[in-house]
Amino acid sequence: MSATTTASQTPINAVPDFLPLHGTDYVEFYVGNAKQAAHFYKAAFGFQSLAYAGPETGMKDKVSYVIRQNKLTFVLTTPLRPGNEIADHILKHGDGVKYLALKVDDARDAWKQTTARGGKSYQEPTVLNDDQGEVIVSGIHTYGETVHLFIERKNYNGVFMPGFREWKTNYNPPPAGLEYVDHCVGNVGWNQMNPWVKFYEEVMGFKNILSFDDNDISTEYSALMSKVMSNGNGYVKFPINEPAEGKKKSQVEEYLDFYNGEGVQHVAIATNNIVETVTDLQSRGVDFLKVPASYYADVLDRVGKIEEDLAPLQELGILIDRDEEGYLLQIFSKPLQDRPTLFFEIIQRKGAKSFGKGNFKALFEALEREQDARGNL
Task: List interacting residues with Fe ion (CB under 5 A).
Answer: 268, 345
Q: Which is nearer to Fe ion, 99 or 344 (CB)?
A: 344
On the CB side of 320, CA atoms within 13 Å amount to: 25
Q: Which is nearer to Fe ion, 136 or 318 (CB)?
A: 318
Separation of CA 370 from chain center: 21
Q: Which is nearer to Fe ion, 148 or 349 (CB)?
A: 349
Neighbours of 116 (CB within 10 A): 10
Nearest one of 19, 40, 44 to 140, comparing CA atoms = 19
CA dihedral 85, 206, 137, 82 (to 10 degrees): 10
- Between CA 159 and CA 154 the distance in angstroms is 13
Q: Which is nearer to Fe ion, 107 or 268 (CB)?
A: 268
- Between CA 46 and CA 48 the distance in angstroms is 7
> Shortest Cβ distance from residue 330 to Fe ion (Å)?
7
Quickly count helices (H) and strands (E) in the chain: 10, 17
- Between CA 322 and CA 34 the distance in angstroms is 39
> Shortest Cβ distance from residue 297 to Fe ion (Å)?
24
- Between CA 130 and CA 133 the distance in angstroms is 6
Q: Which is nearer to Fe ion, 44 or 268 (CB)?
A: 268
Q: Which is nearer to Fe ion, 164 or 212 (CB)?
A: 212
> Shortest Cβ distance from residue 364 to Fe ion (Å)?
12
Amino acid at 23: G
> Shortest Cβ distance from residue 268 to Fe ion (Å)?
4
> Shortest Cβ distance from residue 49 to Fe ion (Å)?
28
> Shortest Cβ distance from residue 280 to Fe ion (Å)?
20
- Between CA 67 and CA 46 the distance in angstroms is 10
